[in-house]
Amino acid sequence: MFESDVLDVPQRALTGDLPEESRVGELVRDAHSRFAPVTHGTVADYIPVLAEADPDLFGLSLVEVDGTVHDAGDTVATFSIQSISKAFVLALVCDAIGHEEVHRIVGVNNTGLPFNSVIALELNDGSPMNPMVNAGAIATTALMPGDTAEEKWWAVREGLSRFAGRSLELDERVLRSESASNHRNQGISDLLTSYGRLQGRSEEMVDVYTRQCSLLVTADDLAIMGATLADGGLNPITREQVVSPEVCRDTLSVLAACGMYELSGEWLFEIGLPAKSGVSGGIVAVAPGKGALGAFSPPLDRAGNSVRGQRACSYLSRALGLNLFASRPRPAKEGDHDA
């Protein structure tokens, strides 16, 4: 898919540490200038206000687990977090109810179908399948701590803000635009209710979910949020322990399997990192123990993943040696078994 982008890049097979700081910064800037001219993809318009996004905006941020930030392009431009919120709400829910319950109630397997598929629910006896598709995300939001929709919303906003290390604002225009056009999510949520799979009132849970998708972030925020998952739940900027290392492990495994929807397999094959995308053009890709990439560029591919964002992540994964599946033979040592 992206192999031709990286043929001339010196590739790191190492999965140990990142290269020295100056080299990381140089590669982030290089990725930005390399993919800025790409014009493929289409800006999402099924949520009317998203269609107004500037297709030329392109920001890349890499935050290391020690808090070092490397930026290129539009890294402080704000956009609604959309589906990337699902990753962090999952982490908060894992923290609140634990590994077993998330597995039992929501599931962790890819549907192989688009993120807003109704058929996926019907085919699986009403199981939402995983927290990264809309059905599973609405079911997961409903599991947030709080007795009322208002309390759950507060917990979502406060929790995501702790990941970002700053108070995240709600984009009222995006909320209004999506609320007026999200009949499909309402249908999915009603269907979940009919299968007895939604805790809480359908309309209210869709509203909390839509609010969480309307929180404003930047590429820098995404990289900080991802780097928190990369460092066992410790925010690298505020040094606050947001969730436990076990929650990060569980969340990242779901992102690897389902974060890029039905293209998650291709993404892993090319990039080899847990990641999450959103329809406004954001991507967060997490390199456990090292840091995270935050990308923003509105034009999307057919599954709803940012085109420039994916290509930049592919390039940086190769050049920085981030792919989780890469290794190279260990040099023989004295005492090794003879062949």
For residue 189, indicate whether it is catalytic.
no
Residue nearest ligand GLN, Cβ-based? 83
Work out whether 185 is an interface residue with ligand GLN (CB under 6 A).
Answer: yes
Give 296-336 as a DSSP string.
Answer: E---B-TTS-BHHHHHHHHHHHHHHT--TT---PPPP-TTS
Work out whether 82 is an interface residue with ligand GLN (CB under 6 A).
Answer: yes
Residue 315 annotated in ligand binding: no
d(CA 211, CA 317): 32
Q: How many residues bind ligand GLN (CB under 6 A)?
A: 11
Q: Catalytic: which of 63, 209, 280, 315?
A: 209
Buried b (16+ CB within 10 A) or exposed e, 47-67: bebbeebeeebbbbbbbbbeb
Q: How far is CA 241 from the centre of its chain?
A: 19
- Comparing CB distances to ligand GLN, the nearer of 78 and 244 is 78
Q: Catalytic: which of 69, 86, 161, 306?
A: 86
- Measured CA to CA in angstroms, residue 302 lies from 135, 262, 263 at distances of 19, 10, 10
Cα 82–83–86 angle (5° rounding)?
120
Residue 185 annotated in ligand binding: yes
Work out whether 305 is an interface residue with ligand GLN (CB under 6 A).
Answer: no
Say if residues 91 and 141 touch (Cβ distance below 8 Å).
no
Radius of gyration of the chain (CA): 19
Say if residues 284 and 62 touch (Cβ distance below 8 Å).
no
Pick from 265, 302, 268: nearest CA to 285: 268
The footprint of ligand GLN on residues 8-67 (CB under 6 A) is none
Work out whether 284 is an interface residue with ligand GLN (CB under 6 A).
Answer: no
Encoded one letter per residue, x for contact with ligand GLN by CB under 6 A and - for no contact, window 91-130 reads ------------------------xx--------------
For residue 86, indicate whether it is catalytic.
yes
Q: Choose which of 107, 200, 278, 298 interacts with ligand GLN (CB under 6 A).
A: 278
Could you tell me the smallest distance in angstroms from the CB atom of residue 134 to ligand GLN?
A: 5
- Comparing CB distances to ligand GLN, the nearer of 278 and 299 is 278
Could you tell me the smallest distance in angstroms from the CB atom of residue 36 to ligand GLN?
A: 23
Work out whether 213 is an interface residue with ligand GLN (CB under 6 A).
Answer: yes
Q: Choose which of 61, 75, 83, 141 interacts with ligand GLN (CB under 6 A).
A: 83
Work out whether 304 is an interface residue with ligand GLN (CB under 6 A).
Answer: yes
Q: Which pair of structure tokens corresponds to residue 70?
A: 């490397």
Work out whether 161 is an interface residue with ligand GLN (CB under 6 A).
Answer: no
Name the residues annotated as catalytic.
83, 86, 209, 261, 279
Residues belonging to the binding site for substrate are 83, 134, 178, 185, 209, 261, 279
